[in-house]
Amino acid sequence: MQRFLVYDLMPNGSLDDHIFSKSNKTKPPLVLTWPQRQTVIIDVAKALAYLHYGIKPAIYHRDIKATNILLDGELRARVADFGLAKQSREGQSHLTTRVAGTHGYLAPEYALYGQLTEKSDVYSFGVLVLEIMSGRRALDMSSPSDLVLITDWAWTLVKSGRVEEVIDRALVDGEGTGPKGMMERFVLVGILCAHVMVALRPTIEEALRMLEGDLEVPSVPDRPLPLGHGAFYGEASNFATSPTLGGFVFNPRSFLR
């Protein structure tokens, strides 16, 4: 038996075509308004909630990123590309020696130790939320600072009380602006979902309730180590590293708890 995924026509291409400047050279990208970005984030969260809790066994997508989110004619989002997806094993962690996914979106416990859980997708979702809210890529190699990873950059701003600086200027100065408090709440949920420690991330259902205003967003906890730290990529990495942003000393296996 073979399984097929059948999609409706997605005339607006991928989310990647519209949230990053100059990402689509064939036609001018749409500048997504706040209501449109809000809807896309909620759509993706609901899709992941269905994959994690709506079917048995649950499915872990493993490659949530902007290019794998397709937009229909009304700019509603569809999660695509299940080539790396895995079924869960009765709620247990899946350990693998073959780590698959995209740099910048990989949860640290999965990238470092091959531990795959539903919260690996939550981490990738958090990175995606920060991309949508900021218009900045998960990995920004052109950044003048050492904060190459969007998670390091956004976390630093949030912890210094400058959460508004994470938000795309098009959502602040343009026509498609939104309520400041609500947009900041979405940023905070993205930060929580992309926390380096598994236990401090919400489930996707909890994240969805926070996004919809049905659950209070907790304060952003400290993190033990920025993901851009050399220990994350190893000495042979071509990626730039971030300086330690402060925090407590930890055992790297803390990522697993």
Q: Give the active site residues.
A: 63
Q: DSSP readout, 132-163? A: HHH---SB-TT-SSS--BHHHHHHHHHHTT-G
Do 69 and 80 form a contact (C-beta atoms < 8 A)? yes
Residue 179 and residue 200: Cα distance in Å, rounded? 27
> Among candidates 241, 220, 248, which has minimal Cα distance to 157?
220
Euclidean distance between CA atoms 183 and 173, whole angstroms: 13
Q: Which two tokens stand for residue 83?
A: 């080539």
Contact 33, 176 (CB under 8 A): yes
Helix (H, G, I), strand (E, B) or coil at 92: strand
